[in-house]
A = this chain, B = another copy of it.
Amino acid sequence: MFPKATISRFPMYFRVLTEYNHQNIALVSSEEMARKVGVTSSQIRKDLSYFGSLGIRGAGYDVAYLLAKIKEILGMDKKRRLAIIGAGKLGLALAGYTGLKQHGLEVAALFDIDQSKWGTTSGQLTVFPLTALASQKEELGMEIAVLTVPGAVAQTVANMAVQAGFKALWNFAPVRLVVPKNVIVQYEDLVVGILTLSHHLARKFG
């Protein structure tokens, strides 16, 4: 098995390879990529080696081939559709975030408990009542539920998502969720990064 951190570096690899591809660069060495990404070349070779012998000894990595492989590893070869639950500021921002589309991820619909938000279109997206989650999941073929709701209701909403058949949750609420073990939860705590900065500032300047 490979380190968890390996997968977390793949999005960055994907981006620099996309760039090389646009520049019509056909081959790239681990050394060259390493410089661009900001890791060691050893790290890159090791990360890639977990998924097979993807390079050419003496030459480097075929950009197009490696790009295809990484897309496959990250599940980007198939379009993944997301349901955003919680049409607040964060939910709406994610709905319009171009970074998702650039990585083959598509927000298909939003859901909210607040009646006043129903039907509202953000871009060409519709906000549905939370009760429509299961039916719309089937209708729109959504696989991943994004939780952008207050912490106090996160567990309840997670239960509904699980009930609706979602096997993957991307949770922005700072709450540990209890879910059946065939359901994957990815936690996203936006506050960690900024408080890490705040900590460093406090250390250095007080």
Contacts and interface: CB of A to CB of B under 8 A. Distances in A.
Contacts of A100: 191, 194
Interface in A158-206: 167-168, 170, 174, 176, 184, 186-206
B199 A38 contact: no
Contacts of A52: none
B194 A12 contact: no
B105 A194 contact: yes
Contact of A99 (B15, B191, B200): B191
A193 B202 contact: no
B168 A184 contact: no
Contact of A202 (B74, B93, B103): B74
A195 B103 contact: yes
Contact of A144 (B191, B197, B204): B197
A190 B203 CA distance: 27
Contacts of A90: 93, 97
B200 A184 contact: yes
Contacts of A119: none
A78 to B, nearest CB: 7
A192 B144 CA distance: 14
29 contacts: A7-B199, A10-B195, A10-B199, A11-B192, A15-B174, A37-B176, A74-B195, A74-B199, A75-B195, A75-B199, A75-B200, A82-B194, A89-B92, A89-B93, A89-B96, A90-B93, A90-B97, A93-B93, A99-B191, A100-B191, A104-B198, A144-B201, A167-B204, A168-B200, A170-B193, A184-B197, A186-B194, A186-B196, A187-B193
